[in-house]
Structure 1
């Protein structure tokens, strides 16, 4: 299972490099089910892996002038503030057992995995649905709305350990009026900020296994380079429906495994 975990770590990077998101959706299930990492710790490890991997992806998009720094500021700063508050103060306050239903305990770990699976299913819908992938770029960006979206993404990032690319890209494309390619590059820059600030905000609550963490990150970075090269030849939008179906199946599997199969 560990070998399979490293194989999937490559796909985490490929997804980030090619589509600017989706890698974080894969990371937590890979850590939990293939590396046997506790779900709460997995959300923290995920932030580091995705953040460091995205950093290498940003460099490639910067060279192509596909990172909008103004959008990073409008969306990223509120998001960073929200994620730091969530990881530093809110997440540690969640009790180990939330409540019990007819003898079935809803633990913090179960709650996080179920919330994560719901996000996966929601993200899969946005990837599968038909329609134009590069929406109308007419009109002016809406900084206040982008900031509000940034706060929401920051909260979700803090709670479930996702970079939020599947939420950031549509926001940048629709509200920020960025092209799809520019939205992907800008998304990676915001993911770097969100993920690494979130990871830093959690450092006081656990001691990371740096050997394991850096090894998985290194493999994901290899995937990032593969993904960014593929992005020059293949439109990420063409791969979104297939990736969306994969994410949908994974979300359903997590719900089944955490409830029916226990």
Structure 2
């Protein structure tokens, strides 16, 4: 029985890592639904396992970004501090909400991510460019660092809080929140946005995993093989990702994510009707 669980966990983790390596940070959101359908876990059980895999993968990406000077560590630390404070509230809510509403909520978040990735893949590169704007967080021409103002601090605080809450509640990294928020709130280049987002995800996920482990809510028999296989799958996905057109990868992931979101929604609705 244990060997079967380990094999299933590794297969699912490898699938998550492969998706993550091929599509980027958004692919990590598939960890929870694959654990729910593949190992019949509830959302609250799957969330800390997904956080462990997502956090470790993000940490590897953040370290690579730091070495290349792509991580704005002050902004990342500020958002992560806010997220770490709010993440336990999400964990608390996840333990008290029934599984069916959590599944429906997760389906809504996953559907939103699928829709956004489909639109990104469908738009021509030229059309995807943002209009000229003056974001609250701007780079200083003299120092190359972000200027810290009250509007900038508010924007980063709100982003960290939302990412932290969703991290604790649903076991998602929050990259689908952090990246668009940084694109709106800063004039950072995309590589810096992604690197900074990965650093925030790694730090917030670490706090969520630590809280779940301390509370006895992390099943290591599933989490260990799942996470190890996810990291290996991510490395394999990154090695072959440039062989495929990015827009087609995004659209393929969007279709897959949309189908999984529909299945999660159906599962939650059926459970609600059965309980009524």
TM superposition score category, shorter chain reference: 0.7 to 0.9
State the superposition RMSD in angstroms: 2.8
Aligned partner of 2:18 in structure 1 is 14
Moved over 3 A (4+): 1-8, 14-20, 89-92, 130-140, 227-238
Aligned partner of 1:69 in structure 2 is 73
TM-score normalised according to structure 2 size: 0.77
Q: Which stretches in structure 2 are left out of the alignment for 5+ residues? A: 138-151
Specify whether residues 233 and 40 from structure 1 end up closer, same or farther in structure 2 by C-alpha distance, changes over 3 A only.
same
Shift of 1:236: 5.0
Contact 1:20–1:184 (CA under 8 A) maintained in structure 2: no
Specify whether residues 205 and 250 from structure 1 end up closer, same or farther in structure 2 by C-alpha distance, changes over 3 A only.
same
TM-score normalised according to structure 1 size: 0.81
Q: How many residues align?
A: 248
- Residue number among 190, 193, 216 corresponding to 2:203 in the alignment: 193
The answer to whether structure 1 residue 37 and structure 2 residue 41 are counterparts is yes
1:85-96 to 2 correspondence within 5 Å? 85-87=89-91, 89-92=92-95, 94=96
Q: Which has the larger radius of gyration?
A: 2
CA deviations over 1:231-255 (Å, ceiling 9, x no partner):
6676756532221221111101111
Specify whether residues 137 and 30 from structure 1 end up closer, same or farther in structure 2 by C-alpha distance, changes over 3 A only.
farther
Specify whether residues 160 and 248 from structure 1 end up closer, same or farther in structure 2 by C-alpha distance, changes over 3 A only.
same
SS at match of 2:195: helix
The answer to whether structure 1 residue 177 and structure 2 residue 187 are counterparts is yes
CA distance in 2, matches of 1:172, 1:111: 30
